[in-house]
Every structure is written in structure tokens, then in C-alpha cells.
Copies of this chain bind each other. A is one copy, B any other.
Amino acid sequence: MDKFYTYFRSSAAYRVRIALALKGVAVESLPVNLRTGEQHGDYAAANPQALVPALCTADGVLLSQSLVILEYLEQTYPNPPLLPSDSMQALAVKSIAYHIACDIHPLNNLRVLNFLKNELAHSENTIQTWYAHWVRKGFSALEKQLANSAGKFCFDDAPTLADCCLIPQVYNAKRYGIAMEDFPIITRIYEYALTQPAFIAAKPENQADFVE
């Protein structure tokens, strides 16, 4: 069985949890508490990036980077597929996923917000401004992109890797109190996804390591 290094609050781990649940893949979940800095202990010896998620295959290969883990799952457990079979459509899905993973999420994750707070001595208000700026900029572009592709999910009516990335990003934005009324397509997809069992199972509050 694959070992899955996760943290309930990590958006990138949440992406992988959604894919695992959609595909019905069982893994051994090993929580790494990012808030107490557990990633810098023994875990860093196995994963130099000291980030979660990571996945260690039954053959002992350690995969870091959530997008890589999602591709591994797609290769290894192809059903149900999380990418369209048409290669250009698959790239359109990845364009949405990578936009979130490369241009929105990296600016707003915990280590960056901590740097703004601790090293640059910014107030909670300024950190909120930073968070809102990048997420609103990203969602505005995404909303236009989704107008061309979305059905019930980001690309048509079945969940894809794009939804694995979008839902955790919206969940996170709502935690930070971002108003969503300018993003009706994103909101509609989010609300629909959260009625589906796999997306419910992957939520932070439904993880074994969840704490308030």
C-alpha cells in the first residue's frame, strides 16, 4: 500500500485526497504537522523539500509535489479518469490546474504568510490584503477561463485534476473571508462538488489529524 504524507490543513495535500477518494484508492495516511514544524524533523531526511504532500509507493519511491502525485495516480489507477482522453482537452484541464498550483496557491500558503508576519513584521490586516490580492487576481482570470469549459465541474460535467486543485483553493479562500460574489462559476462548481462523497471525504475537517 502507498504511504501518504499529509496534513489536514494543507491545500496541496487536499488536492491529492480528492483524487484518492475519486479513484477509491486506499493509502496509509501519515500526518505531518506543519504548524508545529514537524516537517523539519525526520521527515526532511526522506523528503528534502520538507513539504507535504508526498507519496511513497509500495516500491519505496518517494514522490513529492502534488501535481506529480496526481499524475502518478492517474497513470497507476486510471479509473475513473481525471483527465479527458483527448490530449488537447487534457492540456486545457492542466492549464486550469497549473494556474491554481503555480500562480495562486504558492503566494498564499502557510510558510509565505508566516514570513510576512514573522520576518517582515506585517500586521494581520496587511497579510489579509496580500492574501486577497493574489486570490482575487487569480480567481478573476480563472472565472473567464472557466466560462469556456465549465459544466458541473471545471471541465464539463465530470471531475478532473482541475477540480482537485480548485476546491481546496476555494475552501482556503473562504477561510480567509474572501467574498466570492464576483466569481459565480467558481462558486457554483465549489458548491456542487461539496455535495459529492469524494469531495466531502477529502475535506480538512474529515481528516484523522484535524484539530480546531
Contacts and interface: CB of A to CB of B under 8 A. Distances in A.
A94 B107 contact: no
A98 B106 CA distance: 12
A145 B62 CA distance: 11
Contacts of A16: none
Contacts of A79: none
A141 interface: yes
Given A63-B91, A133-B119, A141 B98 contact: no
Contacts of A103: 49, 51, 106
This chain's copy number in the assembly: 2
A102 B129 CA distance: 22
A145 B48 CA distance: 7
Given A91-B72, A145-B49, A102 B99 contact: no
A88 interface: yes
Nearest to A148: B48
A30 to B, nearest CB: 19
A48 B95 CA distance: 12
Contact of A94 (B48, B65, B102): B65
Interface in A40-98: 48-51, 61, 63-65, 67-68, 71-72, 75, 87-88, 91, 94-95, 98
Contacts of A88: 61
Contacts of A126: 120
Contacts of A99: 49, 64-65
Contact of A95 (B65, B98, B112, B141): B65
A145 B51 CA distance: 13
Contacts of A98: 65, 67-68
A152 to B, nearest CB: 21
A106 B115 contact: no
A144 B62 CA distance: 14
